[in-house]
Amino acid sequence: MPEPNWQGYELSAGSDRRDVYALGDEEQLLALRREGTLAMLRDPSPYAGAMIPLSFWRLVQGSRSAWQRIEGIPGAHRLKEELEAYLPRLQDAVDAGLRRMPRDGAGKAIVFGFDEALTFDDEGLPIGLAAHAIDEGEAKGATGISLSCAACHSSNLFGRHVPGLPNKMMNIHPLVDTLLRGRGGALAFGQGMLGRVNDLLATLRRRNRGEDAPLLAELRLLQRTLEDLRYVQTLPAQPGLDSALNAVALSLARRQDDARATRTPESLRSPRDNALSTQRMDSKPPAWFILRYFTRFMHDASFVGANPVLVNFVNSHLGLGADITPLYAWYEREENKRSLQALTAAIFATPAPRYQDFITHAPIDSAKAERGKGLYAERCAHCHGDYRARSGCEQAGSGQPPTLFYPPQPARIDVGSDPSRWQGMRAYAAEAKRVDYLGTRYAIESAPEPRSTDRGYRRTPLVSVWSTYPYFHNGSCPNLCCVLASEGEESSDPRFQRQSYQRFFAVEPKDPVRDFDSECVGFPAPDTLAAERRLARYEYRVGEPGLSNAGHDFAKGLSTDERLALIEFLKSL
């Protein structure tokens, strides 16, 4: 399929890029969306960074298959001890953010947006981990596991898996942090283990036994992973902040200054200085089902000129330290190019979850939503778009999603939100602009001067806004009541006071009654949660660097009833 126009042109009023490859055939688009959704879950690339041999990972579940083959080999005991101490910590970090696929009685995956359940073998792994059979290179014959797109870009939501909905429980930063740290939290973990793996590989080569071939492949994969981790740098984990773009920029700073980000011992010894080694820049992803309205990407609308899916695909390898050189030959194969095109098509055609399909205990009050519709037109539409009811569904909350007329200009606007993300893009751009992303380059047109008026963040469409909590680009507001609060404004209702939201907790959305605030729309208030549900790993400490909830004061002067009516209307979008 020919690539679409990825330049930053304006879409015509009321249009979108749901059918981004202009197929013009709904059945063909559905088939491509199914193929792309499976690619999201499986991750098509065998060159992901920090890949763990599957047999070693099984140690956490008590499997001894990896060790039965090496007991008695000199040097194996120390490696086994270190892995047995380390892997449970990694498993704990994975369990904190990744969940099991919901399945029906026949064992098929329950994935929102498909009338029929999907057949998907997850190898017993949680959503977001994918198993790869390595079919080339020194690790040929091994099976490894890596993070897939689904780790960050999908979420379970009240019994269904929703592709494209950002994972509310996943923070990639602590997971990568755990990958880097061994017993006692020492960052030198990877170097000591790499030496032991190299020694064990040398012993096996000297033995030269055919039965050692599977173990040799697994150890070479582990060797590759430990080498990858030398090119990874993270900031100490901070609850509530996701610093994936920091990791990409800092990994690039440890590589050669060339189009393929070549890894060399010299570049590793002398990394380039980058402000993101100390400056936090939150990198939570947007929902996929709003991307169809854009021709410029990232939260600050800075990205233009290339397929954003390809760029993020390569970035996911860079952030985990992978050598991206093999990706270019891999991408030239038609089946792999087709897989990434299917993923692109699926992302732009991702359906948005509707409130009434998930929240049945608290239906939308149509009369209240109709009152909120007028307030939205007055206060919100100039930035977030005009939602026009479709023929025969004139009342807000009717159940039929309206058509969005999204205003294309200006590309971004500064409403006083936390500036760390758009400010940090200058440091990110200094590294990323050099990279050839699978044959394409893109422009980063943000990085404004401090006094520039062209700064801030992209104005976000509010399609399925009920499902995309927590809110703002950095997730610093747990619900829509917080969004419609105004900083410093007195209110008799604490739900509409920003100071009420200096601390909150992410809650896994299992039960719509217990785990969702249907009036404020979002995470339940902390004081309604039992102590055992207020977990430190899911805490948002608002006000810390990168996690301010300031700005966006457009509801100032509205009464509590008016704000609740506006929220009721937003549920219907």
| Cα 123–Cα 113–Cα 393 angle in degrees, nearest 5 | 165
The helix/strand/coil state of 539 is: strand
144-171 pLDDT, tens digit per residue, is: 998 899 999 999 999 999 999 999 987 6
Secondary structure in 3-state letters for 138-197: CCCCCEEEEECCHHHHEEEECCEEEECCCCCCCCHHHHHHHHHCCHHHCCCHHHHHHHHH
pLDDT at residue 542 greater than cutoff 80: yes
**Consecutive H or E run containing 541:** strand 539-541
pTM for this predicted structure: 0.91
Q: What is the mean pLDDT of residues 440-468?
A: 74
Q: What is the mean pLDDT of residues 346-361?
A: 95
Q: What is the mean pLDDT of residues 289-309?
A: 86
The closest of 403, 398, 417, 451 to 568, measured between CA atoms, is: 398
Confidence at residue 410, expressed as pLDDT on a 0 to 100 scale:
67
184-214 pLDDT, tens digit per residue, is: 444 444 557 777 888 888 888 888 878 788 8
Residue with tokens 């062209």: 454
12-22 pLDDT, tens digit per residue, is: 777 889 999 99
pLDDT at residue 215 greater than cutoff 70: yes
User: Lowest-confidence range among 171-180, 244-253, 487-496, 541-550?
Assistant: 171-180
Number of H helices, E strands in the chain: 19, 11
pLDDT at residue 104 greater than cutoff 60: yes
pLDDT at residue 355 greater than cutoff 70: yes
* Residue 248, token pair as written in the block: 């990409």
pLDDT band at residue 66 using 50, 70 and 90 as cut-offs: low
Confidence at residue 397, expressed as pLDDT on a 0 to 100 scale:
43
Confidence at residue 183, expressed as pLDDT on a 0 to 100 scale:
43
Confidence at residue 472, expressed as pLDDT on a 0 to 100 scale:
93
392-430 pLDDT, tens digit per residue, is: 344 444 444 567 787 766 678 889 999 998 888 889 988
133 beta partners: 143
257-277 pLDDT, tens digit per residue, is: 999 999 999 999 999 999 999
The helix/strand/coil state of 301 is: coil
* Residue 217, token pair as written in the block: 């492949």
pLDDT band at residue 534 using 50, 70 and 90 as cut-offs: very high
| Pairing between β-strand 303-304 and β-strand 443-444 as defined by DSSP bridges | antiparallel
70-90 pLDDT, tens digit per residue, is: 666 776 777 777 777 777 777
Confidence at residue 181, expressed as pLDDT on a 0 to 100 scale:
56
470-497 pLDDT, tens digit per residue, is: 999 999 999 999 999 987 777 788 899 9
Confidence at residue 566, expressed as pLDDT on a 0 to 100 scale:
97
Q: What is the mean pLDDT of residues 379-390?
A: 82
More confident residue, 301 or 368: 368
Q: What is the mean pLDDT of residues 214-228?
A: 89
pLDDT at residue 179 greater than cutoff 70: no
240-252 pLDDT, tens digit per residue, is: 788 788 889 999 9
pLDDT at residue 304 greater than cutoff 50: yes
